C-alpha cells in the first residue's frame, strides 16, 4: 500500500470529477489516498456564477484545503489536476505549485512519483500545454514523471497526463471512456509506485 495525494483546482466541477475518479479508484485498489483542493479564495463567489459550477459546489467545499507543498512530503506519489486557463494551469494551481519553494532547495519531493490531469473547454484548447506546465514543475522538484502510455484503453490521451474537454459551457461531464482511461493509467503506474 502506498500513500498517495490527489490535489486539484476546480470551479465548474469537471477537474474535481477527474480528481474524485483518481481517488476512488486508488482507494478501491487499497491505497491510502488523500483528496485535497487547493486554496481558492474566490471559490465561494465564482462557483455561484454558472449553472455548471453550482452542481458540485457543496461537495467541493466539504473537501480539505491543502495550503502548501510542505504538507505533501509524507506521500509517495502526487497526482495534480488543473483546469486549463489560457493554455496554462489556473492561477490557484500555480500559487499552490509556487508554495513548494520552501522545500525545493532541500529537494524534499525528490524521487516521489508524479502524474497530472487537466480539463479544458476545447479538446484543442491547450490542456496539453497546461499538463506540460505541471510536468515541468514536477521536474523542478526532482519528481519521477508517470507519463501516459498509448495502450491504456478508453478515450485517447496525450503522454503528459489524462485530459477531458468540457465544452463551451463547461457542462459536458466526463464519460465512461475517460474513467476507463484513468483506470487503465492507474493500473499501469501503480506497480512502479509500489516499488518505492
Ligand X SMILES: Cc1cc2nc3c(=O)[nH]c(=O)nc-3n(C[C@H](O)[C@H](O)[C@H](O)COP(=O)(O)O)c2cc1C
Cell of 87: 493554455
Provide the minimum distance between the beta carbon of 54 and ligand X in the complex, in angstroms, as a whole number. 12
Residue 143 Rama label (left phi>0; alpha psi -120 to 50; beta): beta
Query: Nearest CA to 15 among 148, 196, 43, 192?
Result: 43
What is the smallest separation between the CB atom of 16 and ligand X, expressed in angstroms?
A: 6
Min dist. Cβ of residue 55 to ligand X (A): 10
Q: State the DSSP H helix or E strand holding residue 7, giving kind and residue range, or none if neither.
A: strand 3-8
Q: Using CB under 6 A, list all residues that contact ligand X.
A: 10-16, 83-87, 119-122, 125-126, 166, 170
Which residue, 135 or 163, has its beta carbon nearer to ligand X? 163
Query: Which residue has the CB atom at the shortest distance from ligand X?
Result: 125
**CA 149 to CA 26: how far, in whole Å?**
19
Cβ-based nearer residue to ligand X, 34 or 120: 120
Q: Give the count of beta carbons closer than 10 Å to the beta carbon of residue 37.
A: 24
Taking the complex as a whole, the smallest distance from the CB of residue 67 to ligand X amounts, in Å, to: 20
* Closest to ligand X by CB, 32 or 177: 177
Is 2 or 82 the residue whose CB approaches ligand X more closely?
A: 82
Query: Contact at 8 Å (CB) between 182 and 25?
Result: yes
Amino acid at each position: 500500500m502506498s500513500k498517495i495525494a490527489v490535489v486539484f483546482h476546480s470551479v465548474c466541477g469537471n477537474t474535481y470529477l477527474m480528481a474524485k475518479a483518481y481517488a476512488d479508484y486508488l482507494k478501491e485498489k487499497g491505497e491510502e489516498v488523500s483528496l485535497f483542493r487547493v486554496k481558492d479564495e474566490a471559490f465561494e463567489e465564482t462557483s455561484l456564477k454558472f449553472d455548471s459550477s453550482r452542481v458540485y459546489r457543496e461537495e467541493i467545499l466539504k473537501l480539505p484545503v491543502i495550503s502548501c507543498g510542505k504538507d505533501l512530503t509524507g506521500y509517495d506519489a502526487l497526482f495534480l489536476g488543473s483546469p486549463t486557463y489560457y493554455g496554462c494551469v489556473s492561477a490557484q494551481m500555480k500559487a499552490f505549485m509556487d508554495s513548494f519553494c520552501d522545500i525545493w532547495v532541500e529537494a524534499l519531493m525528490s524521487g516521489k512519483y508524479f502524474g497530472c490531469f487537466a480539463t479544458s473547454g476545447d479538446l484543442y484548447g491547450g490542456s496539453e500545454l497546461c499538463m506540460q506546465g505541471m510536468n515541468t514543475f514536477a521536474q523542478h522538484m526532482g519528481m519521477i514523471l508517470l507519463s501516459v502510455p498509448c495502450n491504456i484503453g478508453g478515450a485517447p490521451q496525450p503522454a503528459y497526463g489524462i485530459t477531458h474537454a468540457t465544452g463551451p459551457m463547461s457542462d459536458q461531464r466526463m464519460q465512461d471512456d475517460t474513467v476507463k482511461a484513468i483506470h487503465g493509467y492507474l493500473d499501469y503506474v501503480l506497480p512502479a509506485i509500489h516499488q518505492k
